[in-house]
Chain A
Amino acid sequence: MQVNLKVNGTEHSDDVEPRVLLVDFLRSNLRLTGTHIGCDTSSCGACTVLLNGEPVKSCTMLAVQAEGANITTVEGLAAGGAMAPIQAGFHEEHGLQCGFCTPGMMLVGEALLERNPSPSEEEIRWAISGNICRCTGYMNIVKAIQHAAAAKQAAAKAPSHAAAVAGGQ
């Protein structure tokens, strides 16, 4: 059947079997391979995408359930080689090692900061408690999100400076 949805700002219309998982649609049909598959019991969060701004497990959704929705994947965080504050935060704070959980972590962080611009460490750990990482022990992921929070706060306070900071130099 036909499914129509927006992914990273671009409209897509495709014919899919109802049983096709959203994660497979993104990875195979749209060739957006930044969203990863880490398990088969909806337990790990590696497949996290933003659905209308909220983080969800794309392996636990059918593509057809995303009819009319706005999906953001890691590829939609920034254009070209530029970096969004969340990506810069992960880079600056060494918030990634193998990188497999990273897209999911960044999207959750991004959504959190939209809702709560200055989260406590506890709030950050709770927000990412649906995303498993085996490499980092989470310490630097927390710092990465805190780094992004600070950068976004600074940008909000000083718009002219914001362009330089948000560009992630």
Chain B
Amino acid sequence: MATVHMHGGIGESIKRKEDARFLHGKGNYIDDLVLPGMLHMAILRSPHAHARIKSIDTSAAAAKPGVIAVVTGELMAQHKLAWMPTLSCDTQAVLATDKVRFQGQEVAAVIAESKYQAEDARDLIVVDYDILPAVTSPDAAKAEGAALIRDDKDGQKDNHIYHWESGDKDKTQAAFKNAAKVVRLHTFYPRCHPAPMETCGCVADVDSVTGKATIHMTSQAPHAIRTVFALVTGLPEQNIRIISPDIGGGFGNKVPVYPGYVVATAASLLIGRPVKWIEDRTENLISTGFARDFHMTGDLALDENGKMLALRVHLDSDNGAFFADAQPTKFKAGLFHIVTGSYDIPTAHVTADGYYTNKAPGGVAYRCSFRVTEASYLIERLVTNAALEIGMDQADFRKKNFIRPEQFPYTSATGWVYDSGQYSKAMDVALNQLGYDELKKDVERRRKNGEVTGIGIASFTEVVGAGHGADFDILGLRMFDSAELRVHPTGKAMLRMGTKSQGQGHETTFAQIVAEELGIPAADVAVEEGDTDTAPYGLGTYASRSTPVAGAATAMVSRKLRDKARKIAAHLLEAAEEDLEWERGKFYVKGSPNRAKTIQEIVFAAYTNLPEGMEAGFEGVHYYDPPNMTYPFGTYAVVVDIDKGTGQVKVRRMVAVDDCGVRINPMIVEGQIHGGLTEGFGIAFMELITFDDEGNCIGSNFMDYLLPTAWESPKFELGETVTPSPHHPLGAKGVGESPTVGSPAAYVNAVIDALSPYGVTNIDMPVTSDKVWTALRGAGVTE
């Protein structure tokens, strides 16, 4: 196999080191864990979106065979655990005490010997509810006389959570006054869900003798969770160990602390046995961190030549019953103010208001880069609409307004400092691969023939790599990240990091960084993440931050060790340090290449033959505080054909050109892009969580929440440009979320382009066949 023969440095597509256990069905996912004496927990959830709890009768449940305990909010309140802090500095109910505030909210929990028994008993808990009117949208939340959802919060008089602004209001207003043309788009980015194949869960094991709490948990950010647990439960932090095992997909779904984790831990503490809680799919979709749900209005001001003058955006955010967004605390709407995107727009003004509704809490998730998905969708839809309105080609209009290479580092109208970009180049590569000019002629021919067909383009700029500590923190914890590298006497290494892979291939990619910087073959570098007892503190893996931050830390710690290696090499070669040259894997004396020491020989010497006064061992740790974010970008282009009879949309081609700077493992990068483009396809065409007027959730199982199969999913044609990040030690930018950020607008722009001859300017996602049919019939097009 390739791995054995390749060194595995940067740029090599070595096969993944972690594959073996997964291929043999020996992955260690949370539900695979069985501990002696382990109990099983099932959670009872509210059937109502908004209701007062009058009484809970657990007696029948408690009497069922195998049941050890039934826990309610009342019991949790006695231990001050009925409420917990959220990652957005709000509070969230662990188990409901006064009211339930969304359908699916946690009300009680049964702990029993088997999961079948736990579920049988759960069915016997009787809850008496007084139903209250449900608030199911920001408009309803703002309305006169709307039910007050958070009556538990002192001073909360309405359903408004936050108001947030960015940019320059006056300058933007002035620019709009002078505009030759203003294009407006009002669009809704609907609620969707990361829906990883593995649901969330934990095994909480609190040892009553030692006081040590070991919580195995599907967590993308184990250290942050440990600190939160310490603050919430009062358990001393050194006695809390969070272990994130293999995770079956995260996509942001596994960042928040869910009530199930807290109840399982409390139950284990009280009962003295391990407690396993694994949610089922319905629980996952109805109660865990959803994504998006932004109502956005964008106005783009243009001069008479089609040059962008200003951008004004307002958004209403539907945050559900508790403000639980997993995002840096200084940003109430995440990084949405990247919304000027790839364009040189002199001034912009963004306003955002968040609202409580009777729905599950969350919003920041699903490969969103902290709301960059929403921002990118808005600007790329607005830009295509503007091009269609002024009669300019979508690509030309974009190129006319792109930030130019010589403008980098570029400070945007909302204060972002973009590190590097070559937007026109990526666009050209994409259009070339697509055969754009020929394709446009073909579109004209087909349309003359009565066909409905179109081309959509999106040129996104992302912002990832959170982030510089002064600006980025989660509950105060600065968003640095870490790498600890230890090399054993025989030249094999152990790398531990503060991140946590959920399938992104960290065991391979980060070994490659060490292989490049220190010359130890990737096959000889074991990578560990996820055990807070051993891994250095980090803020976890989400928002495409692992390569920009922990990857940088890995490079830095490798370089620190390379410095130590130089000193040892000088000692071994009896030469001066400045007379030595480094060639990946060895130091040699300048001019005498035969006088060399390999890194393995050097490492061995660190334990056996050190220079006088030097500390033994060969290890180091680096905590990296990124100086800036990184800005991956790209151009995606989609061709669609529409069935006039049914409104079905078929993606004929999808070209995706990404620039994520230096690619450490191109094979892994492409895999990430394929996955994100498919999730973007699902979001554009079929994924939806919606609610009826009573707050009943539609989209809480896989019959209703639709995920694309291999049959519907398009085939992707990938291309690349490489524009390194000037401030990242490796020039790498991160890429995991680019495809979900950039692709939905590309898909939807293609449909809008196809329908533009009929005067259609918008269809909100998901663009389902009935919506397309309605647009066609409205224009008199039928079969």
B674 with A136: CB separation less than 8 A: yes
A100 near B248 with CB under 8 A, answer yes
A44, closest chain B residue (CB): B702
Contact A129 B711 (CB under 8 A): yes
- Docked-complex contact A73 and B502, CB < 8 angstroms: no
Main secondary structure of the interface of A (DSSP, over half): loop
* CB pair A125 B198 closer than 8 Å: no
List, in ascending order, chain A residues with CB within 8 A of B282's CB.
40
Interface status of B23 (Cβ within 8 A of chain A): yes
Residues from chain B with a CB closer than 8 A to the CB of A92 are 1-2, 15
User: Is there contact, CB below 8 Å, between B24 and A40?
Assistant: no
Q: Check B701–A134 contact: CB distance below 8 A.
A: no
The answer to whether B25 touches A103 (Cβ under 8 A) is yes
Q: Mark B1-43, 1 if CB is under 8 A from A, else 0.
A: 1100000000000011001111111110101101000000000
Distance (whole angstroms) from the CB of B67 to the closest CB of chain A: 17
Q: Which of A37, A81, A129 contacts B710 (CB 8 A)?
A: A129
Residues of A within 8 A of B280 (CB): 39-40
A residues 44-79 near B (Cβ < 8 Å) are 44, 46, 73-75, 77-78
Tell whether B675 is near chain A: CB-to-CB under 8 Å: yes
List B residues 666-709 near A (Cβ within 8 Å).
Answer: 667-668, 671-679, 701-703, 707, 709
The one of B246, B667, B702 in contact with A41, judged by C-beta atoms closer than 8 angstroms, is B702
**How far, in whole Å, are A33 and B716 apart by their CA atoms in the complex?**
33
Residue A149 CB within 8 A of the other chain: no
- C-alpha gap A129/B701 in the complex (Å): 18
Taking A138-B710, A140-B671 as contacts, is the C-beta distance between A87 and B23 under 8 angstroms? yes
**B contacts with A: majority SS:** loop
Asked whether B674 lies within 8 Å of A139 as measured between CB atoms, the reply is yes
- Contact yes or no, A40 B701, CB < 8 A: yes
A154 interface residue per 8 A CB criterion:
no
Asked if residues A33 and B675 are in contact (CB atoms below 8 Å), the reply is: no
Residues of the A chain whose Cβ atoms lie less than 8 Å from the Cβ of B756: none
Question: Is residue B343 contacting chain A, with contact meaning CB distance below 8 A?
Answer: no
Q: Does A146 contact B (CB under 8 A)?
A: no
Decide if A112 is an interface residue (CB 8 Å cutoff): no
Query: Of A20, A100, A128, A139, which contacts B197 at CB under 8 A?
Result: A100
- B29 in contact with A139 (CB, 8 Å): no
B504 cross-chain contacts in A, Cβ below 8 A: 97
Q: How far is the CA of A99 from the CA of B281 in the complex (A)?
A: 18
Q: Is there an interface contact between A99 and B503, defined as CB atoms closer than 8 Å?
A: yes
Which residues of chain B have C-beta atoms less than 8 A from A94's C-beta?
15-16, 667-668, 671
| Residues of A within 8 A of B (CB-CB), count | 59
Complex: how many Å from CA A126 to CA B24?
24
- The answer to whether B671 touches A136 (Cβ under 8 A) is yes
Whether the Cβ atoms of B713 and A97 lie closer than 8 Å is: no
Q: What sequence of 0s and 1s flags, for each residue 71-114 of chain A, a beta carbon within 8 Å of any chain B beta carbon?
A: 00111011001010001001110101111111100100000000
- Check A97 against B675 for contact (C-beta < 8 Å): yes
Asked whether B246 lies within 8 Å of A34 as measured between CB atoms, the reply is: no
CA distance A80 to B197 in the complex (A): 26
A37 touches B26 (CB 8 A): no
The minimal Cβ–Cβ distance linking B453 to chain A, given in whole angstroms, is 22
Q: A46–B503 Cα gap in the complex (Å)?
A: 16
CB distance A83 to B709 under 8 Å?
no
Of B21, B194, B248, B667, the residue contacting A98 (CB under 8 A) is: B248
CB-CB under 8 A from A44, the residues of chain B are 197, 281, 702, 707
Q: When the two chains form their complex, are residues B24 and A99 in contact, meaning their CB atoms are under 8 A apart?
A: no
Closest chain B residue to A124, Cβ basis: B710
Residues in B with CB closer than 8 Å to A37 are 31
Q: Which of A98, A103, A129 has the most CB of B within 10 A?
A: A98
Given the known inter-chain contacts A97-B503, A97-B505, please indicate yes or no for A169 contacting B197, CB distance below 8 A: no
A99 touches B246 (CB 8 A): yes
**Does A152 interact with chain B (Cβ within 8 Å)?**
no
B679–A134 CB distance below 8 A: yes
Q: Does B196 contact A (CB under 8 A)?
A: yes
**Does A38 lie at the interface of the complex (its beta carbon under 8 Å from any beta carbon of B)?**
yes
Of A87, A98, A101, which is within 8 A of B24 by CB?
A: A87
Q: How far is the CA of A140 from the CA of B702 in the complex (A)?
A: 24
* Contact partners of B26 in chain A: CB under 8 A: 34, 75
The answer to whether A119 has its CB under 8 Å from any CB of chain B is no
Judged by a CB distance under 8 angstroms, whether B465 is at the interface is no
Asked whether any CB of chain B lies closer than 8 Å to the CB of A147, the reply is: no
B281/A137 in contact, CB under 8 A:
no
| Minimum distance in angstroms from B479 CB to a CB of chain A | 24
Closest residue of chain A to B716, judged by CB? A139
The reply to whether A91 and B23 form a contact with Cβ atoms under 8 Å apart is: yes
Residue of chain A at shortest CB distance from B195: A134
- A134 and B674 in contact (CB under 8 A), knowing A36-B248, A74-B24? no
**A139 CA to B713 CA in the complex, in Å?**
9
How far, in whole Å, are A85 and B701 apart by their CA atoms in the complex? 35
Given A73-B25, A137-B677 in contact, is the A132-B709 Cβ separation under 8 Å? yes
For the complex, what is the distance from the CA of A135 to the CA of B713, rounded to whole Å?
13
A91 CB → nearest B CB, Å: 5
A89 to B23, CA, bound (A): 10
* Least Cβ–Cβ distance between A126 and chain B, in angstroms: 6
A74 with B25: CB separation less than 8 A: yes
A150 at the interface (CB under 8 A from B): no
**B251 is an interface residue with CB less than 8 A from chain A:** yes
Asked whether B569 is an interface residue with its Cβ less than 8 Å from the other chain, the reply is no
Q: Are B671 and A129 in contact (CB-based, < 8 A)? A: no
The CA-CA distance from A106 to B387 in the complex, in Å, is 46
Q: How far is the CB of A169 from chain B (nearest CB, A)?
A: 6
Residue of B nearest to A126 (CB): B711
Bound complex: CA of A83 vs CA of B280, how far in Å? 32
Question: Do the beta carbons of B24 and A78 come within 8 Å of each other?
Answer: yes
Does any Cβ of A come within 8 Å of B715's Cβ? yes
Q: Please, how many angstroms separate the alpha-carbon atoms of A33 and B278 in the complex?
A: 14
B249 contacts the other chain (CB 8 A): yes
Which residue numbers of A lie inside 8 Å of B, CB to CB? 17, 19-20, 27, 31-41, 43-44, 46, 73-75, 77-78, 81, 83, 87, 90-92, 94, 96-103, 106, 124-126, 128-142, 168-169
Other than the known A36-B31, A99-B21, what 7 A-B pairs have Cβ atoms closer than 8 Å?
Answer: A34-B25, A43-B701, A75-B26, A94-B667, A99-B19, A136-B678, A138-B709
7 nearest CB pairs, A to B: A34-B25, A98-B503, A99-B22, A100-B248, A137-B674, A43-B702, A74-B25
The contact sample of 12 A-B pairs, CB cut-off 8 A, is: A39-B280, A40-B281, A46-B197, A75-B26, A77-B24, A83-B23, A99-B503, A102-B22, A128-B709, A132-B197, A140-B674, A168-B1
